[in-house]
Chain A
Amino acid sequence: MAPVLEIRDLHVTFRTRDGIVQAVDGVSLDLARGGTLGIVGESGSGKSVTGLTVMGLTRLPNATISGEVLLDGEDLLRLHDDRLREIRGKRIAMIFQDPLSSLHPLYKVGWQIEEAIRAHEHVSPHAARARAIEALRSVEIPSPAEFVDRYPHELSGGMRQRAMIAMALVLGPDVLIADEPTTALDVTVQAQILELIASLQREFHTAVLLITHDLGVIAETADEVAVMYAGRVVEQGPLETILDGPEHPYTWGLLRSIPRLDVPRTARLRPIEGSPPSLIHPPSGCHFHPRCPYVMPMCRSMDPELLPSDADHLVACHLSPTEKRRIWRGLQLEEAAAS
């Protein structure tokens, strides 16, 4: 089955006072109909810009965008603003990290949902309200008929994010882009929200593009994973492959830096050394080489291509396949010894 959303060789640059920021640098991704693609990476890896660009929200005077974003074969990047607006919110919806700042503080929650409906469909105010209430019911908000008259500041973080999800899904979009949907929430609420997204996804057959820095979130929800670093996809594959047999040193670092409960509390956290690179003057060759423990001379000069290492597993790294397997096995043994 053809993917509902295809991103082909997407480049996004922003002109800023300090120079040209290469935020997204040749990203290609497929999102299967009804599937969940997790994009994981540090801040500044280009994951959010990728999501915003799909929505057309990076169409700014200082932005240059190239490539293709195909929704059922139609290239969104070539669409006129007005045409794109019809798709935005209706066929692709988005939820964001901080539900308090993402809801308008001066309007009631119900009004904001009704507005999303009326932006795309000619319905009576009464019908819009009924659908807003129905949407709130579907995100398991108790007594939604009263909830519509509440202001965002009167709600808890979890309730606000539920309202955002209701607003995003009220028109039954094909694609939901969730940009760090649980990052601002309490841990217990995080799990509820992820479960809610998953169950609504099954019900409405919505494909989800889940953007997060948290591999734990990815592990719980995604079927496919793309690891991004400095504006590029460095590794991509099915969830199990990425978790069980990752082949990129950056992915190893991400997996090993997750705090664990099954090791002694005295064990030190293992961060990836260094900080994310500048996107104005990215490092030569492989962008990860300055932080890579396994760096080789060729990494500094030659850019590794994203190549298949397995049927559906793509990796951008100069290390040989045997080398990668050897190192990953070593890391796993070390891990086992620690716990």
Chain B
Amino acid sequence: MTRYLVRRLLWALAMLVAVSALTFLIFYTFPSADPAALRAGRQATPALIAQIRHQLGLDQPVYVQFGTYMKDLVLHGDLGYSYQNNVSVRSEIFSRLPATISLTVGAVVIWLAIGIPVGVISAVRPRSKLDRAVMGASLVGISAPVYFLGLIALFLFASDIGRVHLFGGAGSYVPLTQNPRQWFSSLVLPWFVLAAAFAAFYARMVRGNLIEVLGEDYIRTARAKGLSERRVVFRHGLRAALTPVVTLAGLDIGILLGGAVLTETVFNIPGVGRFAYDAIINSDLPAIQGTVLFGAVFIIVANLIVDILYAFLDPRVRY
């Protein structure tokens, strides 16, 4: 187990270096606006732009820039400063993390609370009217893009532009510590919008897994023991069907903690995803690098946790 962990952690480090290098490469290979020109503003002289370029180190070769970046990162944990407004990328990301965590955790709770029961109901009566209706609806949920669902939700329920003024609209987010009531109200719509596609997907997955498991020989054994149907479905069926769901949920949480870009943008939530979006719009390399690396760390850690968790969930798995 320890050996396995050490190996996994070394791989994780190698992966992060590769991710950084790739981000640099993409930034300089693909067309993007000149960060120095953007920073200099509308009436900039070439001299000013050149001066800014020098300040930011953009006049140096790419590999030197990359070297400097990695050195600061490794030695000081420093992610550099935004080209746009000179704030520390690291402190900016950390200050935005609570918003992203709030969004993610709420959405996870909602999609699991909807997806698992719906999947179970469908699996227990496959091809029934209820099953067909629910699975049809889930297809809509999976297919509808977040920005579409998000706008619909805002137009229907937002307190500013909605038909029914129920919840906070776009840009109404405040930290939990500042005003819990408004925090909650501002997040209800984003939670549901973000959770919709996941809930639909998880419902289909739970349904598929559970139908398969309920056909297993050990389910027949459980029935033969004289257990109640409820116990057969939950203790024997769902227990086995949920293992892959836990894996997927771990990965999805990791991805979302790296920034739910679309949802945060539609609802103007000042989270990591919104920061990534702004960074890309502004060709702000350090900010892009920072958010990408941050996302990568979450995904790698989530992966590792899921793999370790798996050994606890399934006794057949050993490292």
Shortest distance between the CB of B46 and any CB in chain A (Å) = 69
Query: Per a CB cutoff under 8 Å, which of B240, B243, B313 touches A104?
Result: B240
CA distance A191 to B77 in the complex (A): 68
Question: Are the C-beta atoms of A57 and B220 separated by less than 8 Å?
Answer: yes
Shortest distance between the CB of B220 and any CB in chain A (Å) = 6
Within 8 A of A (CB), among B236-281: 236, 239-240, 243
Query: Per a CB cutoff under 8 Å, which of B224, B239, B240 touches A89?
Result: B224
Give the residues in chain B near A103, CB-CB below 8 Å.
218, 221
Question: Are the C-beta atoms of A105 and B240 separated by less than 8 Å?
Answer: yes
Give the residues in chain A near B316, CB-CB below 8 Å.
105, 151, 153
Query: Is the C-beta of A260 less than 8 angstroms from some C-beta in chain B?
Result: no
Interface of B is mostly: helix
Query: Is the C-beta of B179 less than 8 angstroms from some C-beta in chain A?
Result: no
Residue interface mask B216-227, A partner, CB < 8 A = 1: 111011111111
Shortest distance between the CB of A106 and any CB in chain B (Å) = 6
Shortest distance between the CB of B123 and any CB in chain A (Å) = 14
Question: Are the C-beta atoms of B226 and A94 separated by less than 8 Å?
Answer: no
CA distance A104 to B219 in the complex (A): 8
Shortest distance between the CB of A196 and any CB in chain B (Å) = 19
Shortest distance between the CB of B91 and any CB in chain A (Å) = 45
Q: A104-B240, A106-B239, A153-B315 are in contact. Are A89 and B220 (CB under 8 A)?
A: no
- Which residue of B has the minimal Cβ distance to A168? B224
Within 8 A of B (CB), among A87-144: 87-90, 93-94, 96, 98, 101-106, 115-116, 119-120
Query: Per a CB cutoff under 8 Å, which of A81, A98, A119 touches B227?
Result: A119
Query: Is the C-beta of A167 less than 8 angstroms from some C-beta in chain B?
Result: yes
Query: Is the C-beta of A55 less than 8 angstroms from some C-beta in chain B?
Result: yes
Give the residues in chain A near B315, CB-CB below 8 Å.
105-106, 151, 153
Query: Per a CB cutoff under 8 Å, which of B217, B220, B225 touches A119?
Result: B225
Give the residues in chain B near A57, CB-CB below 8 Å.
220, 223-224
Give the residues in chain A near B224, CB-CB below 8 Å.
55, 57, 88-89, 93-94
CA distance A89 to B223 in the complex (A): 9
Count contacts between A and B, CB distance < 8 Å: 68
Question: Are the C-beta atoms of B226 and A88 separated by less than 8 Å?
Answer: yes
Q: Which of B217, B229, B231, B236 is most buried by chain A, counting CB atoms within 10 A of its CB?
A: B217
Query: Is the C-beta of A325 less than 8 angstroms from some C-beta in chain B?
Result: no
Query: Per a CB cutoff under 8 Å, which of A98, A106, A153, A164 touches B240?
Result: A106
Query: Per a CB cutoff under 8 Å, which of A85, A104, A106 touches B221?
Result: A104
Query: Is the C-beta of A86 less than 8 angstroms from some C-beta in chain B?
Result: yes
Question: Are the C-beta atoms of B239 and A85 separated by less than 8 Å?
Answer: no
Give the residues in chain A near B243, CB-CB below 8 Å.
106
Shortest distance between the CB of B48 and any CB in chain A (Å) = 67
Give the residues in chain A near B223, CB-CB below 8 Å.
55, 57, 88
Q: A88-B225, A153-B315 are in contact. Are A102 and B240 (CB under 8 A)?
A: no
Question: Are the C-beta atoms of B217 and A86 separated by less than 8 Å?
Answer: no
Query: Per a CB cutoff under 8 Å, which of A90, A102, A106 touches B226?
Result: A90
Question: Are the C-beta atoms of B228 and A85 separated by less than 8 Å?
Answer: yes
- Which residue of B has the minimal Cβ distance to A98? B217
Shortest distance between the CB of B69 and any CB in chain A (Å) = 46
Give the residues in chain A near B228, CB-CB below 8 Å.
85, 119
CA distance A85 to B225 in the complex (A): 8
- Which residue of B has the minimal Cβ distance to A104? B218
Within 8 A of B (CB), among A131-176: 151, 153, 164, 167
Shortest distance between the CB of A331 and any CB in chain B (Å) = 39
- Which residue of A has the minimal Cβ distance to B237? A104
- Which residue of A has the minimal Cβ distance to B243? A106
CA distance A105 to B240 in the complex (A): 8
CA distance A89 to B231 in the complex (A): 15
Question: Are the C-beta atoms of B218 and A115 separated by less than 8 Å?
Answer: no
Q: Which of A57, A106, A115 is most buried by chain B, counting CB atoms within 10 A of its CB?
A: A106
Q: A102-B220, A105-B218 are in contact. Are A86 and B236 (CB under 8 A)?
A: no
Question: Are the C-beta atoms of B216 and A101 separated by less than 8 Å?
Answer: yes
Question: Are the C-beta atoms of B221 and A102 separated by less than 8 Å?
Answer: yes
CA distance A55 to B231 in the complex (A): 18
Question: Are the C-beta atoms of A96 and B220 separated by less than 8 Å?
Answer: yes
Query: Per a CB cutoff under 8 Å, which of A55, A85, A87, A102 touches B218?
Result: A102
CA distance A89 to B221 in the complex (A): 9
By a beta-carbon cutoff of 8 Å, the part of chain A in contact with chain B is: 55, 57, 81, 85-90, 93-94, 96, 98, 101-106, 115-116, 119-120, 151, 153, 164, 167
* Other A-B pairs beyond A57-B223, A106-B315, 10, CB < 8 Å: A55-B224, A57-B224, A85-B228, A86-B226, A93-B224, A103-B218, A104-B236, A104-B240, A119-B225, A119-B227
By a beta-carbon cutoff of 8 Å, the part of chain B in contact with chain A is: 216-218, 220-229, 231, 236, 239-240, 243, 313-316
